[in-house]
Amino acid sequence: MGTAAALLGVLVPLGFLAHAWSLNGALGFPLDDAWIHLNYARTLREHGTFAYFPGAPPSAGSTAPLFTLLEAVGFLVTSNEKLLAILLGLAAHAGFLVAFARWAEQRLGDARWTALAVGLVALDGRVALLAVSGMETSLFLALTALAIERRLAGRALASGLALGAALWVRPDAAILAAVFAIDALLGDAGAASAATGGGRDGKVRSLGAFALVALAYAGLNLALSGHPLPATFAAKTAYYATRPRSAFLTGDVAECFGSGAWVVFAPFALIACGLVVHGLVRRRRPTFRIEAGWAAALPLAYLIFLPYSHRFTRYLVPALPALAILGVAGLQAIVRARAVSMMLRRLVLVATLVAAVALHARLLAESADFYAFACRYHAERHEQAGRWLAAHTPPDAVVATHDVGAIAYYSRRRIVDAAGLVSPEVTPWIGKSFYPDSLTALFDRRGVTHVAAFEDWLPIGGVPPLVVFNTEPEVMRIYPWVPGRTQVLPVASAPPAAH
């Protein structure tokens, strides 16, 4: 029943694709980041180097090197970048839902409760949206779900390898590794026997396998950029480190865990977490330690290091599967509580399910509409700017921009990145008063010939734009860069978001 719900869940992102196609007439991506992976993948496929464009030095501007490698392999089969990235996302989404169904079944037992947990995640509009976003999130969800499921099944080596692979998709996997390590220190939760590879020794082997894969990941980043983490980590922390933590809690966290049916199931999840804490205090080895740890540790880590969850709260979405199991387990505990009358238990169950369906349906509709809008937004700005540059500039043109994805992909021009993702020397200037002057000097040194920018993010002065692509808010313009005349102006608000 859980697997059937998982397979049905794959239809949801397909519906998003159909809805966006009917409105826009084409495939698209709702995030410029999707083309960042594709740029690295195409250069790797065509030139055999992990660089952002041909002739550029190797760099660690891709957060997800494993996803990028898969796209590079995919380019052996098709040159359609959108179809490639979307199919990879859908395949990862299907694998995630199947792995999550098996994880939920081990925890919840009954097939009906398992189907409920799977449905909560599969019918979340943000999870569906991200599956067809061209991004790595679905692959990360699949690998973390597999790591937890294999751990519960007592398959230590498979769990460690899956967790290590997840690190190659997002560095957030290190947080789950810490949760696993703490769980191992606390002792067995009774989920797996020593005969199947469970127990403390199995968990140590699991973390050992993860450590070996993690060393290879750190080695790749060191070779590419001189740091064990991708360049994206330094760039994004530079942008958002000063963002108020209160805004992260009341905005990002509240939005992620308080949207749709989650607002109904969050109280039940707290009940399950309370049972975990009570069990730990009483040293009874509670069942849902990993779920409670992951659901709490992921937002806590972002609160400390990077108080921003990006669009669609996509940095926090990987905690939703654990939250689903905790929420269903809490509801399960209420429904099975003998101290509560049968009538009241049924009333709670029916009211919860009715409210969950209504709230999730609204979230699905809103997410589908926003997916179509975001795809059109990037097509009208980023894609058009890249194609214009390809048609109206010489092959040796150098383009400076703050959104380096589609503009670089479709222009095939050398890029200077004002956000620091693929031009890491920019990162120390972010948020500083000398940021505009430093960029101006950098553009002169690098031989920049054109700038593609939103005025609110990277205002340009001294010359009129060559072309303007749209009239709605966040207008994309391309300017000529004339040394000594064109200049980057100060921004009244915070620097542009790192995409």
pLDDT tier, 492 (very low <50, low <70, confident <90, very high otherwise):
low
Angstrom distance (rounded) from CA 113 to CA 161? 29
pLDDT score for 342 = 81
| Segment (H or E) for 480 | strand 476-480
Whether the per-residue pLDDT at 389 is higher than 70: the answer is: yes
Give SS3 for 121: helix
**Residue pLDDT, tens place only, 45-71:** 999 999 999 988 888 888 899 999 999
Find the mean pLDDT for residues 416-437. Answer: 89
pLDDT score for 345 = 82
Give SS3 for 166: helix
**Least confident stretch, 168-182, 218-232, 477-491:** 218-232
Whether the per-residue pLDDT at 79 is higher than 50: the answer is: yes
Torsion, CA 26, CA 27, CA 32, CA 38, rounded to 10: -130
pLDDT tier, 194 (very low <50, low <70, confident <90, very high otherwise):
very low
**Residue pLDDT, tens place only, 267-325:** 999 999 998 988 888 877 788 999 999 999 999 999 999 999 999 999 999 999 999 99
Whether the per-residue pLDDT at 129 is higher than 50: the answer is: yes
pLDDT score for 61 = 85
Whether the per-residue pLDDT at 494 is higher than 80: the answer is: no
Domain range list for the chain: 2-373, 374-488
Angstrom distance (rounded) from CA 443 to CA 460? 12
pLDDT score for 191 = 41
**Residue pLDDT, tens place only, 211-254:** 999 999 999 999 988 889 888 887 888 778 788 999 999 999 99
| Segment (H or E) for 477 | strand 476-480
Find the mean pLDDT for residues 94-119. Answer: 95
pLDDT score for 284 = 74
Q: What percent of the chain has pLDDT over 70?
A: 95
Q: Tokens in use for 354? A: 């009715």
**The Cα angle at residue 414 between residues 412 and 416, in degrees rounded to 5:** 130
Angstrom distance (rounded) from CA 239 to CA 248? 14
Whether the per-residue pLDDT at 344 is higher than 90: the answer is: no
> Rounded to the nearest 5°, which phi and psi values hold at 451?
-125, 130
More confident site: 341 or 298 = 298
Torsion, CA 133, CA 134, CA 138, CA 143, rounded to 10: -170
pLDDT score for 199 = 62
pLDDT score for 264 = 96
CA-CA distances (angstroms) from residue 419 to 48, 79, 239, 297, 323?
25, 28, 9, 28, 34
Q: What percent of the chain has pLDDT over 90?
A: 74
Please answer whether residues 146 and 199 qualify as being in contact, where contact means their C-beta atoms are separated by less than 8 angstroms.
Answer: no
Give the type of residue at 22: S
pLDDT score for 186 = 83
pLDDT score for 473 = 87
Q: Which of 103, 133, 126 is nearest to 360 (CA)?
A: 126
pLDDT score for 451 = 97
Whether the per-residue pLDDT at 207 is higher than 60: the answer is: yes
Whether the per-residue pLDDT at 364 is higher than 60: the answer is: yes
Q: From the centroid of its chain, how far is CA 36? A: 14
Beta strands in 231-310 (DSSP E): none
**Residue pLDDT, tens place only, 394-415:** 999 999 999 999 999 999 999 9
Give SS3 for 24: helix
DSSP 293: H
**The Cα angle at residue 64 between residues 105 and 160, in degrees rounded to 5:** 45
Find the mean pLDDT for residues 34-53. Answer: 95
pLDDT score for 427 = 87
pLDDT score for 198 = 56
Find the mean pLDDT for residues 173-196. Answer: 72
Find the mean pLDDT for residues 425-436. Answer: 89
More confident site: 291 or 430 = 291
pLDDT tier, 188 (very low <50, low <70, confident <90, very high otherwise):
low
The mean of the pLDDT values for the chain is: 91
